[in-house]
Amino acid sequence: MNNKKIRVLGIESSCDETSVSVVEKSNGDYKVLSNVVKSQIEIHKFYGGVVPELAARAHSDIIDKLIVMALSDAKLSFKNINAISATAGPGLLGGLLVGVVAAKTLSYILNKPFIAINHLEGHALSIKLERSIEYPYLLLLVSGGHTEFTIIKGFNSYKRIGTTIDDALGEAFDKTARLLNLDYPGGPQIEKYAKLGDKNRFKLPMPLMNEKNAHFSFAGLKSAIANIVAKHRCTEKFKKDMAASFQETVNRIIFKKSQNAIRAYKKIIKNNKKIKIVVAGGVAANKGIRKSLKRLGEIEDCEFLFPSIKYCTDNGAMIALAGIERFERNKFNKLSFKPRPRWPLDKNAVFMKGKRTVEG
């Protein structure tokens, strides 16, 4: 193998997508050689959310086939791969075990390094799959399990400056969709209905909106919607108006909290460069949110960057890329490494879930 080329096979199985990818780094550039993704939406749809046990079974049913497919799509064999990386947390333990055990087994048999990846690090670095970016930059991660602002100061140097104290934003979309009898996952459904409704019909609460920090709270929003739903007939017109009101509320929350996050970033990172904000996670696909952030970018003279949707949602490519970054720094893991269902990117960040009062 050409010494300048590094190729890592990355495995993702932390939630409801099984994905395997081969990414190559050559002369400083990344290239996705393959990225196979199998979504479990059809399995979980019936339940209106991810069922952990079913998710784990579905990952284990398919993981070996996806590994073979990822290699074949990349037109490579195991001997061309330098290391195996897998998401080892945070996420659902059953799913994490499937990916981690597969990666460890390959590592042992092939005698190649095993690299445990923090899923959030994958999202944080995913933008590099498509363009180069200089550190530092700000990450807004909005997915079904996470909602946070983190300063990516450099590789392995992360400072969280905002997070949700209860539900993640994707969870709020999914729960609202469920209250309106819309399909799972809720985000795309809400977005579709919102376009057809009256955004001013329902006034919904915006918790923590007047606080100057970059923290979020979405649980109250869901309760307020549940109360309104209980008093109305769930007609198509009602669904559209509620979806539009919800989308409008979320747009305003994201706008305001991103503005607060930019202020917080400027206090910590003192340079004159234009701030870059990477928006990742499944909710980053939402056009209403994208539009409101682009407007904020113009007002604040910052640049919002959105990875392609296929790299915003969970994918093996970002795990392979994070694997390459670690491989280059000889950051390997022992086969005794245990998956971590809870694994913050910033080890010093305070656990905020359930905090009633929020500082700074």
- Beta sheet of 83-89, edge-to-edge order: 29-39, 17-26, 5-12, 83-89, 114-118
Q: With contacts defined by CB under 6 A, name the span among 97-105, 137-145, 147-155, 266-274 that binds ligand KG4.
A: 137-145
Cβ partners under 8 Å of residue 272, min gap 6: none
Q: With contacts defined by CB under 6 A, name the span among 75-83, 139-147, 209-217, 322-330 that binds ligand KG4.
A: 139-147
Which option in Zn ion, ligand KG4, none does residue 56 bind, with CB closer than 5 to 8 A by kind?
Answer: none
> In angstroms, what is the minimal distance from the CB of 141 to ligand KG4?
9
Identity of the amino acid at 23: V
Which option in Zn ion, ligand KG4, none does residue 121 bind, with CB closer than 5 to 8 A by kind?
Answer: none
Q: Which is nearer to ligand KG4, 120 or 138 (CB)?
A: 120
Select from 35, 143, 213, 292 the one that contacts ligand KG4 (CB under 6 A): 143
Q: With contacts defined by CB under 5 A, name the span among 24-32, 135-143, 170-178, 254-262 that binds Zn ion.
A: 135-143
What are the distances in angstroms from CA 73 to CA 33, 66, 130, 259?
7, 10, 19, 42
Of residues 298-317, which lie at the interface with Zn ion (CB under 5 A)? 314
Which option in ligand KG4, Zn ion, none does residue 286 bind, with CB closer than 5 to 8 A by kind?
Answer: ligand KG4
Binding mask 227-256 for ligand KG4 (x = CB under 6 A): ------------------------------
Q: Which is nearer to Zn ion, 174 or 314 (CB)?
A: 314
95 scored as a contact of ligand KG4 (CB under 6 A): no
Binding mask 88-127 for Zn ion (x = CB under 5 A): ----------------------------------------
191 scored as a contact of ligand KG4 (CB under 6 A): yes
Select from 99, 186, 323, 344 the one that contacts ligand KG4 (CB under 6 A): 186
Tell the residue number behind the tokens 């393959």, with chain if given.
34
- Are 307 and 130 in contact, with CB atoms under 8 Å apart? yes
- Are 297 and 304 in contact, with CB atoms under 8 Å apart? yes
> In angstroms, what is the minimal distance from the CB of 347 to ligand KG4?
21
- d(C-alpha 311, C-alpha 131), whole Å: 12
Query: CA 186, 294, 169: angle at the middle one, nearest 5?
Result: 30
Handedness of CA 254, 346, 56, 111 (dihedral sign): positive
- d(C-alpha 99, C-alpha 30), whole Å: 23
Cβ partners under 8 Å of residue 217, min gap 6: 164, 165, 166, 207, 208
35 scored as a contact of Zn ion (CB under 5 A): no
- Are 40 and 16 in contact, with CB atoms under 8 Å apart? yes
Select from 170, 197, 307, 323 the one that contacts ligand KG4 (CB under 6 A): 170
Q: With contacts defined by CB under 6 A, name the span among 57-65, 262-270, 281-289, 335-343 that binds ligand KG4.
A: 281-289
Of residues 140-169, which lie at the interface with Zn ion (CB under 5 A)? 143
- d(C-alpha 80, C-alpha 359), whole Å: 50
- d(C-alpha 243, C-alpha 196), whole Å: 9
Q: With contacts defined by CB under 5 A, name the span among 100-108, 137-145, 233-241, 325-333 that binds Zn ion.
A: 137-145
Beta bridge partners of 21: 10, 35
Beta bridge partners of 89: 118
By the criterion CB under 6 A, which residues form the site for ligand KG4? Answer: 15, 143-145, 170, 173-174, 185-188, 191, 281-283, 285-286, 313-314
By the criterion CB under 5 A, which residues form the site for Zn ion? Answer: 143, 314
